[in-house]
Amino acid sequence: MNSFKYQCSECGKTFDITPQIMLCDKCSKAQEQNKPLRGILEVTPPKKASLEDIFSFLPLEKKNFPNLPVGNSPIWTADLLGRETGFDNLYIKNDGTNPTASFKDRASWPVAAFAKTWGINEIVLASTGNAASSMAGIGACAGLKVTIFLPENVPMGKLVQSLQYGARVILVDGNYDAAYELSMQYSKEKGGLNRNTAYNPITIEGKKTVSIEIVRDLKKAPDHVFVPVGDGVILSGVYKGFRDLLSLGLIDKVPTIHAIQSSTSDAIHRAWNNGGKFDFKHSSTIADSICVDVPRCGHLAVKNLYSHNGKCITVSDDEILVAQKTLSEKAGLFTEPAGAASYAGFLKAKDQIEKDSTIVILATGMGLKDLSAAQNKIKIPTKTVKDITEID
Ligand SMILES: *Cc1c(COP(=O)(O)O)cnc(C)c1O
C-alpha cells in the first residue's frame, strides 16, 4: 500500500493529506495580491504503481470514487493532418469524451472521492465554465451539493450544463478572477470543500492521469505534448504524471511539453520570458477556458517548464479559430476554442520538430459547449428551399 503525503512545490515541506490543508503554511505567507498562488502542494509520487491500474497512482481509495466513466479518453492518429504536415505519428487525445465533455472531469472526480473520504457534503468553486459544469455533473452523481461562482459572460452551454446538473449557480458581476476571490471568501466563511483549481492539490493530482494514460496507450513516452494553458493546472498535472512515471522507472524521459497560451491571455508566457517574474495585465480571448488574468498555478507551471526544458508559445484568436475549423474538417474532431489552441500551437512549432517524432495534441473540451465561438468560421444558411430546382 502506498503512503502519500502533500509536499510543498516550493520548499519541499510535507504534510498529511487532510481537508484542512490546502497550501504550505510557510510559503503561502509570501502571497502577493494579483499574483499566482504561493505554496502550492503536490502529492508525493507512489512507491509502487501499475499502468493498468490508475487508482494505484492516486492518494484516494477506488471505493470512494463516484461511479462515472472519467478519463480513458481516446487517442488516435489524425491521418489527414499528419499527411498534410508531414508527421506520421501525430496523435490527438480527446478529453471532450469525458462525462461532462471536458478535461476538468479528471480533477472533479478525485475531488468528489476526497469529499466522500472525509464525509464532506458541499463543494465550492469558481470557474470560467468547464470546471463548474464538471463539478456540477460529477457532484450530482456523487450526491454532493455544489456551489459555483461564474463570470457573467460564461458561455451559455456551460451555464446551462451547470444548472441542468442541479448546482447552485452564483453569477458574478465581474470576470473569472473576481469569481475566484468570492468563492474563496465563501468557502472560508460558510464552509464546504473548495475545489478551486491549483488551490485544491487534488486538482493537479487528478489531471496527471492524462499522462499515465498516454504512456499506457502508446507503450512509451511521446516526444512532444501540446497543452492549452490558462491557470496552468493541466500543464502542471501533465508534468506531475510524467514525473511520477519517471520516478517509478516506467519511462526514461519527460517529453518536451509545449504550453500554448492565447496571445491576449498570456501571463505564463510573459513570466516564462521574464525569468519567472509575473506582472499583471487584463486578458481577453475567444478561448474562454484559457482566459485568466492571474494564472493560479503560474509559479509551478513556469518552474516545470524551466526544469524540463519545456516551451511556451502564444497563438492569436484567429489562429485558434482556424485550428478549431481545421480539426473539425480534417480530423472529424469538433473541440472548443481552448481545446484547439494546442493544435494552433503545434502548427507554429512544427518546423522545429523532427518529422519522425511522436506528438500528442491534447484536445481538452467539446465544441458544442460554445456555439457562438464556433460560428466564426462558418456560415449558417439563411435561405430555405422547397424545391430541388432552387439548389445550385
Ligand atoms: C481549464 C481548461 C484549460 C486550461 O487548463 P488550466 O489548468 O486552466 O491551464 C484548457 N482547455 C479547456 C477546455 C479547459 O476547460
Average pLDDT, the chain: 96
Res 386: pLDDT? 95
pLDDT for 363 beyond 80: yes
Phi then psi for residue 314, to 5 deg, are: -110, 150
Percent residues over pLDDT 70 in the chain: 100
> Going by DSSP bridges, is the β-strand pair 311-315/193-194 parallel, antiparallel, or unpaired?
unpaired
Q: From CA 294, how far away is CA 36, in angstroms rounded?
A: 6
Q: Residue 355 above 70 pLDDT?
A: yes
pTM of this prediction exceeds 0.75? yes
Give the containing element (helix H, strand E) for 297: none
Nine-digit cell string for 323: 485550428
Q: E strands, the chain, where?
A: 6-8, 14-15, 41-43, 75-77, 90-94, 122-126, 145-151, 168-172, 193-194, 224-228, 256-262, 311-315, 359-363
Mean pLDDT across the stretch 168-184? 94
Q: Is 105 in the pocket of ligand 1 (CB under 6 A)?
A: no
Ligand 1 proximity of 301 Cβ (cutoff 6 Å) = no
Look at residue 1 in the predicted model and tell me its pLDDT. Answer: 58
C-beta separation of 252 from 246 below 8 A:
yes
CB 362 near ligand 1, within 6 Å: no
Strands 90-94 and 75-77: antiparallel
Tell me what pLDDT residue 392 has. Answer: 83
- Does residue 130 have its Cβ closer than 6 Å to ligand 1? yes
pLDDT surpassing 90 at residue 2? no
pLDDT at 282 over 70: yes
d(CA 62, ligand 1 centre) in Å: 25
Give the whole-number percent of the chain exceeding pLDDT 90.
97
pLDDT in tens, 65-118: 999 999 999 999 999 999 999 999 999 999 999 999 999 999 999 999 999 999
Rounded CA-CA distance 201/204 in Å is: 6
Mean per-residue pLDDT, 31-44? 97
Q: Which of 94, 207, 234 to mutate to test the pocket of ligand 1 (most atoms within 8 A of CB)?
A: 234
24-41 average pLDDT score:
97
| 255 CB near ligand 1 (under 6 Å) | no
Over residues 307-323, mean pLDDT: 98
Atom of ligand 1 nearest to the CA of 203: 7
Rounded to the nearest angstrom, the distance between the alpha carbon of 67 and the centre of ligand 1 is 24
- Report whether residue 290 contacts ligand 1, using a CB cutoff of 6 Å: yes
Q: Tell me, in angstroms, the distance from the centre of ligand 1 to residue 12's CA.
A: 26
Question: Are 340 and 100 within 8 A, CB to CB?
Answer: no
Q: Which atom of ligand 1 is nearest to the CA of 369?
A: 13
pLDDT in tens, 297-314: 999 999 999 999 999 999
C-alpha cell at 200: 485544491
Q: Residue 265 forms beta bridges with which residues?
A: 262
- The grid coordinates of residue 97 equal 469524451
Helices marked H in 248-390? 267-272, 298-307, 317-331, 337-349
- CB 142 near ligand 1, within 6 Å: no
Which amino acid is present at 351? D
Measure the CA–CA gap between 17 and 269, rounded to whole angstroms. 32
pLDDT, tens only, 105-127: 999 999 999 999 999 999 999 99
Domains annotated on the chain, with CATH: 75-101+203-377 (3.40.50.1100), 102-201 (3.40.50.1100)
Q: Report whether 294 contacts 282 (CB < 8 A).
A: no
